[in-house]
Structure 1
Amino acid sequence: MSFDGMFTHVMVNELNQNLRGGRIAKIQQPFANELILTVRSNRKNQQLLLSAHPSYARVQITDQPFANPAKPSTFVMSLRKYITSAIVQDFKQLNNDRIVIIDLSAKNELGDIHEYTLITEIMSRHSNIFLVNKENGKIIDLVKRVSPENNSFRGLLPGDDYKLPPAQNKINPFEQNDESLSDLTASDLRSKYEGIGLDTSAELEAFLNDGNTLSDFINLYQNNLHPNSANSNSKHKLGFFPIAFTNTTQEVKSFATLSELLDNYYLDKARVDRIEQQTKSITRRLDIILKKDKSKIKKLNKQLDQTKIMSKYNLYGELLTTYMSKVKRGSSTITLTNYYNNEDVKIKLNPEYSPSENAQHYYKKYRKLQNSIPHINEQLEITTNEVNYLESVLASLDYVDIEDVDGIVDELIDSGYIKKRRKNARKKRKKHIGEDFRSTNGIDITVGKNNLENDQLTMKLSQKNHYWFHVKDIPGSHVILKTSDPDEQSITEAATIAAYYSKARESSKVPVDYVQIRNIRKPNGAKPGFVIFEGQKTILVDPDRQMVADLKK
Structure 2
Amino acid sequence: TLLAYLRQVPARQDRIALPDPAHPGRNLEIPLDPQIAPQANAARYFKRAAKAERGLKEIPPRLSAVEAEAHGLEVLLARVRALEDGGHDTARPDDPTIDGDLEAALTKVPPSVARTLGIAPALPTSAAAAASAARGRRDEIPARLQPRRLRTAEGWDVLIGRSNEGNDYLTHQLARPEDYWFHVHGAAGSHVVLRRGKGKNEPSKRTIEEVSAWAAFYSQARTAGTVPVIVTRKKHVRRPKKGPPGLALCTHEKTLMVRPAEPPRDALADLATE
Give TM-score, length-normalised by structure 2: 0.48
- The higher radius of gyration belongs to 1
Q: TM-score by structure 1 length?
A: 0.25
Which protein has the bigger strand share?
1
